[in-house]
Amino acid sequence: MSQLVAPHGGKGLVCALLHGSELIAEQEKAAGLKKVQVSARAKGDLIMMGIGGFSPLDGFMTKADWKGVCENFQMADGTFWPVPITLDISQEDADSIAIGEEIALEADGVIMATMKVSEKYEMTEADKKWECEKVFMGEGEESVDGNFWKIAPEDHPGVIMVMNQKDVNIAGPVKVLSQGSYPDEYPGVYLTPAETRAMFEERGWSKVAALQLRNPMHRSHEFLAKIAIEVCDGCLIHSLIGNLKPGDIPAETRVKAIEILIDNYFVKDNVINGGYPLDMRYAGPREGLLHATFRQNYGITDMLIGRDHAGVGDFYGLFEAQEIFDRIPKTGEAGKDLLCQPMKIDWTFYCHKCDGMASLRTCNHTKEDRVILSGTKLRKALSEGADIVDHFGRDEVLDHLKKYYAGLTEKVEVKMQGAASGESM
């Protein structure tokens, strides 16, 4: 009997990925189906459905699911889910597809999946704006006092993505045919939920934390992981290896930086370096909930949630991603409710007077005594060739990152928001 937390949804791992003769037969059938091109975001969603990362989802959401998720954090059947998982297509494609028809979903010239279309529903500009307000609008200064629609259409990558979606969503179950290039590009790092669960079982872990990363690990990330290791059986350092926004550091560079840090500063038996194939949605608090939801499928009980988790700009309050966990609905049914819990950590930093890493809960010194750490601040300094202050990151990691930036021929300006600069401390 497994001691690990059950997958979300009460149905075990729901994996849409085909193998063996089933895969070959479906690939042959897919070659003759109408082909619909899908986005990079949808490609990542399909892979997660394939490997069970999005259990209990077996396809893209219906209009009732979409509405319930946006409005109440619940799909039509009452199962908790925080962010819509939808598939948009053009009106022209929608007009040519019949309800009940099977189609092939293609990305980058590869047929990723087949789908039996159960529903088509229009997404007007008003629908898209409503989704954005529900999913992306937060409590930060760029969201309140009428600022959201002044700033978000140009500066919020999640809002831009949704507003640029095509005019029709289609729903229906999928059969996934490919995991893309991830298994070959990131061997031993790209891990499925079944693989992480097997690793945790082998190590005797039952209470397992996850650290979400989209930036290279600096001292604050390292501190968070080590706090988790002290109170849990182990920690999965789980970095996004899908697409990011311009100016973010690519996955292969970040993965190597994590390896360097683990090799030099961790007890390897207590930590695992893993990656998952989604694109960032930059949904702040809602994305924090999504991170906990799919981490439960990976066998995680405790999701590390720190300052400005999954945020962008100043759209969210500093600890809004922690507070939202206290407001989500609960049905009382384990299969429908979120079981992975937040591990809420205060603002962390290096303090010269404390002579070590600390947080606002443990350090009584002033802002001037502290080295404020953030991924954005690190990327900005590296991209501009500026000096990195002492105790910001480990020397071995910074040397690796400096080599990456030295090789860039084109650099994207990194915008510094208040949450990253330390102005709000």
Question: Which residues are known catalytic residues?
Answer: 214-215
Q: How far apart are CA 31 and CA 369, in angstroms?
A: 63
* 326-356 residues labelled b (16+ CB within 10 A) or e (exposed): eeeeeeeeebbbbbbebbbbbbbbbbeeeee
Cβ-proximal residues to 269 (8 Å cutoff; 6+ apart), any chain: 203, 234
Q: How far apart are CA 119 and CA 100, in angstroms?
A: 8
Q: Do 280 and 247 form a contact (C-beta atoms < 8 A)?
A: no
Burial-class residue 63 by CB neighbours within 10 Å (0-12, 13-18, 19+). middle
Vertex 49 angle, CA 157 and 108, to 5°: 60
Instruction: Give the residue among 90, 18, 14 at the shortest CA–CA distance from 52.
Output: 14
Task: Tokens 């694109």: give the residue.
Answer: 279
Determine the 3-state secondary structure of 319 from DSSP. coil
How far, in Å, are 73, 165, 211, 230, 240 from residue 60 at the CA level?
A: 16, 15, 27, 39, 21
Q: How far apart are CA 266 and CA 268, in angstroms?
A: 6
Q: How far apart are CA 118 and CA 79, in angstroms?
A: 20
Give residue 339's region: left, alpha or beta (phi > 0; psi -120 to 50). alpha
How many residues are listed for the chain in this entry?
425
CB-CB neighbours of 266 under 10 Å: 18
Q: Do 315 and 142 form a contact (C-beta atoms < 8 A)?
A: yes
How far, in Å, are 196, 229, 252, 269, 410 from residue 199 at the CA level?
A: 5, 16, 22, 11, 40
